[in-house]
Structure 1
Amino acid sequence: MASPEERIADLGLTLPEVVPPLAAYVPALRTGDHVYTSGQLPMVDGKLLVTGKVGAAVSPEEAKEQARVCALNAIAAIRSVVGDLSRVVRIVKVVGFVASAPDFTGQPQVVNGASELLGEVFGEAGRHARSAVGVAVLPLDAPVEVEVVAEVR
């Protein structure tokens, strides 16, 4: 069975460097058998490639892809704490925040971008509990932000 790192490579992805914090927090923290990530924005090479509200300036499909970027950044944050992604026993919980136009109600489909990537990388261990929440605005006018809780050994 392929390791999570091998699955990432098989998907044609590269695990990025951990996104530096925008304020007074750490990207991920381990306590006991769990790693909690801070909210991860869809940063690529230190920049947001897409900004705005989903259902207005940002299409749901584009936001779903940005949620996938958030999940990749969360995986990088988890790896920065545990060293080897094979130490992830299970992705326990995902919380996705979607900066939404007032009439947009497709938050679950947007956050599927993160959930689907976690499933592709961790297999059955990537199946998780989840919340998808619409919000008025996110840091830097990001369209989506994702937090992950992982059980590790």
Structure 2
Amino acid sequence: MPTPDVVLAELGLPVREVAPPAVAQVPAVRAGSFVFTSGQLPIRHGELLAAGRVGDTLGVADGQACAQWCVLNALAAIRSEIGDLGRVRRVVKVVVYVASGALFTDQALVANGASELLGRVFGDAGQHARSAVGVSALPLDAPVELELVVEI
């Protein structure tokens, strides 16, 4: 199986360097054989990919695209901690927060954007436990925030 970086490059989604945090946190923490990321927003080239709530100003497809960028940023944070994404043995847990309109209930469909990308990148090792949580607002008016836990 190709390495995660090769798969991402083939998808046209190379992982960039981790951006320094804007607040008092670190991008990722290693504890034993696990790496936990801080919440990652859909930041691309230094700017928020989209703003607003899914179900109000944004649709499910917009949320899925944001979830994918959150994954890319989480992988950058993990790589900054362990040096090589090829060291990831398993994606353990994904938590996806979706800024949701009052009547929006398809948070799980938004989270699929992240889950499907992780499955493509890591194959069977990308299958994971997951929570998809609707919230009223996220930092910077982001539509999606994601946390990732991997075993190395």
- Aligned partner of 1:88 in structure 2 is 88
8 Å CA contact retained: 1:91, 1:128: yes
- Aligned partner of 1:103 in structure 2 is 103
Runs of 4+ in 1 over 3 A off after TM superposition: none
8 Å CA contact retained: 1:18, 1:76: yes
SS of structure 2 residue aligned to 1:91: strand
CA drift of 1:49 comes to: 2.4
How is 1:9-88 mapped onto 2 (pairs within 5 angstroms)?
9-88=9-88
SS of structure 2 residue aligned to 1:146: strand
- Aligned partner of 1:118 in structure 2 is 118
One-letter amino acid of the structure 2 residue matched with residue 111 of structure 1:
A
8 Å CA contact retained: 1:19, 1:43: no
Q: Percent identity between the aligned chains?
A: 58
One-letter amino acid of the structure 1 residue matched with residue 43 of structure 2:
M
CA drift of 1:14 comes to: 1.4
Deviations 1:98-135 (A, max 9, x none): 00001000000001111111111111000000000000
Show structure 2 runs of 5+ residues with no match.
none
SS of structure 2 residue aligned to 1:68: helix
8 Å CA contact retained: 1:90, 1:151: yes
TM-score normalised to structure 1 length: 0.97
SS of structure 2 residue aligned to 1:77: helix
- Aligned partner of 2:6 in structure 1 is 6
Show structure 1 runs of 5+ residues with no match.
none
